[in-house]
């Protein structure tokens, strides 16, 4: 529930998460709580009846791009993604907005319109929201959906032999840093922005026709960070084939030029001790695997044959998806990168 890419503030998003998480230790949950705070899953799940459970999540962050309308689209795609990552169908949403009253209200209007349009595309009704006067713009949504309680996709079900399928290319953190520094070319920017505002609905609908053992979305903690959470929760070890990791156009070149956001090093510090990297791999490529992703793709563990079928279907709808690795053995959640 707490994996927002944009909130990597001075303390580090993770330090804040740890502080909040501590509050929930030892909390006794109602037995209808199927997924609660403690398991680092994307959203909470609450059982309503035999066939339906409620999925709830909340995500908001400061602007990742200059265009307010596109920022609204990206923030909405990101917030909706946590419901898709649980295998759920989002139904309703509420806006959460911080906006300085000193700025022209047309900017606020554009952000909210971007969010509304993306929710409409997802078939989600925005029921309302709340706006606070604040010096730093932030926008996101609280999203409510439903899921079959017998098919909730958590982090913890990956099995030895599973393929790991990723539905979007990596590198939006590095490209948005390149945009801020004036280094990213227009076409590189456009591709990254399109990736961020792409809903994970299409990927979820394809995965929903397969038997998914574990699923999450790749966001602020990076590809390797979220994969580590999945491997740790599943008590398994993953082998990642770096040659198969999909990268956004231009991202590797920007990474080679040292265009790396601060969150990358924090992700490396946290997840790095659990990752064994082949000695000959390029540091610029490794940095892309630790790159914080605002509104990244779904990462699923499933049988190889099913993964191949899902990959073909994802490519057919224009997703830059790839089978990035395999679950190789039982273990305590480490990752081998080759
Ligand atoms: Co999130
Ligand atoms: Co998530
Ligand atoms: Co199943």
The alpha carbon dihedral of 256, 323, 154, 85 has a sign of positive
Contact of 321 with 311, CB cutoff 8 Å: yes
Active site residue 7: yes
The position carrying tokens 């309703």 is: 92
Instruction: State the pLDDT at residue 11.
Output: 53
Q: pLDDT tens digits for 63-92?
A: 999 999 999 999 999 999 999 999 999 999
Instruction: State the pLDDT at residue 4.
Output: 41
Q: pLDDT tens digits for 272-284?
A: 999 999 989 999 9
Instruction: State the pLDDT at residue 6.
Output: 44
The position carrying tokens 């089978």 is: 323
- How crowded is the C-beta side of 238, counted as CA atoms within 13 Å? 34
pLDDT < 70 regions, the chain:
1-12
Say which ligand is closest to the CA of 302.
3
Q: Which residues contact 292 (CB under 8 A, 6 or more apart)?
A: 5, 8, 173, 219, 220, 221, 222, 261, 263, 264, 267
Task: Provide the terminal-to-terminal Cα distance of the chain, rounded to the nearest Å.
Answer: 30
- What helix, strand, coil percent values describe the chain, rounded to 5? 40, 25, 35
Q: Indicate the SS3 state at residue 15.
A: helix
Q: How far does residue 59's CA lie from ligand 1's centre (Å)? A: 5
Catalytic annotation, pick one of 4, 7, 119, 215: 7
Can you give the pTM of this predicted structure?
0.93
Q: How far does residue 279's CA lie from ligand 2's centre (Å)? A: 30
Contact of 160 with 330, CB cutoff 8 Å: yes
Q: pLDDT tens digits for 6-46?
A: 444 445 677 777 777 777 777 788 999 999 887 788 999 99
Q: How far does residue 73's CA lie from ligand 1's centre (Å)? A: 15
Say which ligand is closest to the CA of 57.
1
Q: How far does residue 270's CA lie from ligand 3's centre (Å)? A: 31
Kindly list the protein residues that place their beta carbon closer than 5 angstroms to ligand 1, a single-atom ion: 3, 59, 82
Say which ligand is closest to the CA of 200.
2
Instruction: State the pLDDT at residue 10.
Output: 46
Q: How far does residue 301's CA lie from ligand 1's centre (Å)? A: 19
Q: How far does residue 273's CA lie from ligand 1's centre (Å)? A: 24
The residues facing 94 across adjacent strands are: 128, 142
Contact of 129 with 46, CB cutoff 8 Å: no
């Amino acid at each position: 529930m707490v994996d927002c890419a944009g909130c990597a503030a001075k303390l580090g998003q993770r330090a804040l998460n740890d502080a909040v998480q501590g509050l929930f230790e030892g909390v006794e949950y109602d037995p209808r709580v199927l997924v609660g705070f403690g398991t680092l899953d994307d959203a909470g799940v609450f059982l309503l009846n035999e066939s339906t459970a409620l999925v709830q999540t909340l995500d908001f962050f400061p602007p990742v791009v200059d265009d307010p309308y596109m920022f609204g689209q990206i923030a909405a795609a990101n917030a909706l993604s946590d419901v898709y990552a649980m295998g759920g169908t989002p139904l309703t949403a509420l806006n959460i907005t911080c906006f300085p009253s000193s700025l022209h209200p047309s900017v606020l209007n554009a952000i909210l319109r971007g969010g509304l349009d993306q929710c409409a595309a997802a078939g989600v009704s925005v029921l309302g929201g709340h706006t606070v006067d604040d010096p730093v713009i932030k926008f996101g949504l609280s999203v409510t959906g439903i899921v079959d309680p017998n098919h909730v996709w958590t982090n913890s079900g990956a099995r030895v032999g599973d393929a790991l399928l990723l539905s979007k290319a990596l590198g939006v953190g590095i490209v948005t840093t390149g945009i801020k520094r004036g280094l990213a070319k227009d076409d590189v920017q456009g591709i990254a922005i399109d990736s961020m505002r792409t809903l994970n609905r299409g990927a979820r609908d394809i995965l929903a026709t397969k038997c998914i053992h574990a699923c999450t979305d790749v966001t602020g903690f990076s590809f390797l960070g979220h994969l580590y959470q999945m491997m740790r929760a599943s008590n398994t070890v993953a082998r990642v084939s770096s040659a198969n990791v999909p990268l956004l156009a231009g991202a590797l070149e920007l990474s080679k030029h040292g265009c790396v956001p601060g969150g990358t090093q924090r992700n490396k510090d946290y997840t790095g001790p659990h990752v064994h990297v082949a000695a000959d791999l390029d540091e610029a490529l490794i940095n892309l695997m630790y790159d914080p992703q605002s509104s990244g793709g779904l990462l699923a563990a499933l049988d190889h044959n099913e993964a191949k079928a899902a990959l073909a279907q994802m490519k057919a709808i224009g997703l830059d998806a790839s089978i990035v690795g395999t679950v190789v053995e039982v273990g305590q959640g480490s990752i081998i990168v080759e």
